[in-house]
Amino acid sequence: MANLFQSVRGFNDVLPADSAAWQQLYRIAGEVFAAYGYGEIKLPLLEHTGLFKRSIGEVTDIVEKEMFTFTDREGDSLTLRPEGTASCVRAGLEHGLLHNQQQRLWYAGPMFRHERPQAGRYRQFHQFGVEAYGMTGPDIDAEVIALSARLLKRLGLTDVTLELNSLGGSEVRKRYREALLEFLLRHESSLDADSQRRVRSNPLRVLDSKSETTQALLADAPSIQDAFDDAARAHFDGLQQALSDLGLAYRLNNRLVRGIDYYTSTVFEWTTTQLGAQGTVLAGGRYDGLVEQLGGSATPAVGWACGIERLLLLQKALGVEIDSSAADVYFCWLGEAAQREARKLAEQLRDMVPGLRIVLHADGGKLAAQLKRANRSGAAVALILGDTEVEARTVQVKSLRADAAGASAQQILPWPELAALLAGLVK
Ligand code: ATP
Ligand code: MG
């Protein structure tokens, strides 16, 4: 036989045993986004390469070395999206959602970056993101952060820290760039190679360097807060006040700049010490210049994205329990008459109890073998239908787990009473 194909490096399959955790995550995220009135926007995986170059910035890790870019049959340069914000702005402009409007949006899906694969870092990974447009005040920065805090809490992720900084707005950023550049040039020869290459074109990028020697050197770098004007100070104070009002603790980190050029003022990250070098689980900020930069009218914007795989890894590291069962009920039957009734009963129960997950046994066999499958399915309850039960229009109900919602170890119930009992199993 020819060699079997393997998946492309950094591109992973998610098997049914793991997809329960994914589904729970998507369900909880959907509820949290809805709780703040955010609507879903579904964006394509492929965009024109120029969109990412212009938004993320030419002198960034993503654009310099991480994009999956190719020329299609018409000769156009296309790129598998490395992130969602650029596409969201592109779509918002294309469909007239941004001009003089307020929008609260969320998206989810795969992103692609050609990085070195390791735990928590893949070439295809998945993100949730939220974006809010048309609102200038710090209260909306606080809202997207509160939303992220609620999401992490609902997912059982406790061991996380909120880090906060501000780049002060585009004017302050420009002024700070000069001060930082002057400092960095004084220490140019001590910087890591990437930082030396970038120091003139994009000095702020150096703050985001992963090199330890560069980071040590940066301890004496000028702080961006010293460059703040009154507006920047008021916005950042307002955000901190709002977070305090909401009881959200944060740590100020004046080196935090994020790896993407479009951020203009607020930047924040939720980090954990549980995932080694892949410690950032959720990150974002305010990007008031991007809509205009992509051809729209000036529009304030703030948002964040999180790495779904990292949230799942953190759930695992913290021992968060996930219900990975595929069924609530496993329906066993013995003999042809029982098979026909079981088929009909299973459909009726699905009609009567929305959300109830029933696996109907297939292909016959002995009761012991069927119950073995029932146990393996993770179902809370097995139903057993044989000739005697069909005759009496009853069914045996056998509880398989301690949490089988009112079903006793074994009981016999008339058909009409089944739906009420099983409704208790729906989560
Ligand atoms: P990092 O510093 O870890 O490379 P980043 O600054 O490149 O992260 P963003 O572009 O802000 O990350 O993306 C937001 C989130 O997406 C990250 O905080 C992380 O959780 C996740 N993420 C980014 N790149 C990857 C990847 N290659 N694999 C898995 N998750 C990722
Ligand atoms: Mg990165």
User: Ligand 1: does its nearest atom lie under 6 Å from the Cβ of 10?
Assistant: no
| SS3 assignment, position 249 | coil
In this predicted structure, what is the pLDDT of residue 3?
85
Continuous H helices in 107-254: 138-154, 170-186, 193-198, 203-207, 212-217, 230-245
Tokens for 323?
């219900």
User: Ligand 1: does its nearest atom lie under 6 Å from the Cβ of 259?
Assistant: yes
Q: Cα(5)–Cα(1) distance, rounded to whole angstroms?
A: 12
* CATH number belonging to domain 16-168+228-317: 3.30.930.10
Ligand 1 probe mutation, 65, 87, 125, most atoms within 8 A of CB: 125
Sheet of 124-133, strands arranged across: 39-40, 103-112, 124-133, 301-307, 280-286, 266-271, 161-166, 251-252
Tokens for 311?
């949230």
Ligand nearest to the Cα of 121, by number: 1
| Residue showing tokens 């920065």 | 141
In this predicted structure, what is the pLDDT of residue 382?
97
In sequence order, the β-bridge partners of residue 132 are 104, 302
In this predicted structure, what is the pLDDT of residue 403?
61
In this predicted structure, what is the pLDDT of residue 49?
98
Q: Cα(198)–Cα(57) distance, rounded to whole angstroms?
A: 12
Taking the CA atoms of 82, 84, 89 and 94 in sequence, report the sign of the dihedral they define: positive
**Ligand 1: which residue has its CA nearest to atom 28?**
121
Ligand 1 probe mutation, 67, 88, 280, 308, most atoms within 8 A of CB: 280
Ligand nearest to the Cα of 262, by number: 1
Contact 62, 82 (CB under 8 A): yes
- Torsion of the alpha carbons at 154, 160, 166 and 169, rounded to the nearest 10: -40
User: Ligand 1: does its nearest atom lie under 6 Å from the Cβ of 315?
Assistant: no
Q: Which residues are annotated as a binding site?
A: 83-85, 113, 127, 131, 258, 262-263
Judged by phi (left if over 0) then psi (alpha if -120 to 50, else beta), residue 77 lies in beta
Instruction: List the one residue out of 404, 102, 119, 91 whose CA is nearest residue 274.
Output: 119
pLDDT tens digits in sequence order for the chain, 427 residues long: 678 999 999 999 999 889 989 999 999 999 999 999 999 999 999 999 999 999 999 988 999 999 999 999 999 999 999 999 999 999 999 999 999 999 999 999 999 999 999 999 999 999 999 999 999 999 999 999 999 999 999 999 999 999 999 999 988 988 999 999 999 999 999 999 999 998 998 899 899 888 999 999 999 999 998 899 999 999 999 999 999 999 999 999 988 988 788 899 999 999 999 999 899 999 999 999 999 999 999 999 999 999 999 999 999 999 999 887 889 999 999 999 999 999 999 999 999 999 999 999 999 999 999 999 999 999 999 999 999 999 999 999 999 987 655 556 889 999 999 999 999 998 7
In sequence order, the β-bridge partners of residue 285 are 267, 303
User: Ligand 1: does its nearest atom lie under 6 Å from the Cβ of 54?
Assistant: no
Residue 101 Cα to ligand 1 middle (Å): 29
Q: Please provide residue 374's backbone torsions phi and psi, each rounded to the nearest 5 degrees.
A: -60, -45
Q: Residues 180-187: contacts with CB within 8 Å, 24+ apart?
A: 180/204, 180/206, 180/207, 180/221, 180/222, 183/220, 183/221, 183/222, 184/221, 187/217
Instruction: Report the topology of domain 329-425.
Output: Rossmann fold (3.40.50)
User: Ligand 1: does its nearest atom lie under 6 Å from the Cβ of 310?
Assistant: yes
User: Ligand 1: does its nearest atom lie under 6 Å from the Cβ of 215?
Assistant: no
Tokens for 418?
């089944």
Domain spans of the chain?
Answer: 16-168+228-317, 329-425
In the chain, count of helices (H) and strands (E)? 16, 16
User: Ligand 1: does its nearest atom lie under 6 Å from the Cβ of 121?
Assistant: yes
295 Cβ contact partners less than 8 Å away, ≥ 6 residues apart? 93
Instruction: List the one residue out of 201, 162, 203, 165 whose CA is nearest residue 181.
Output: 203
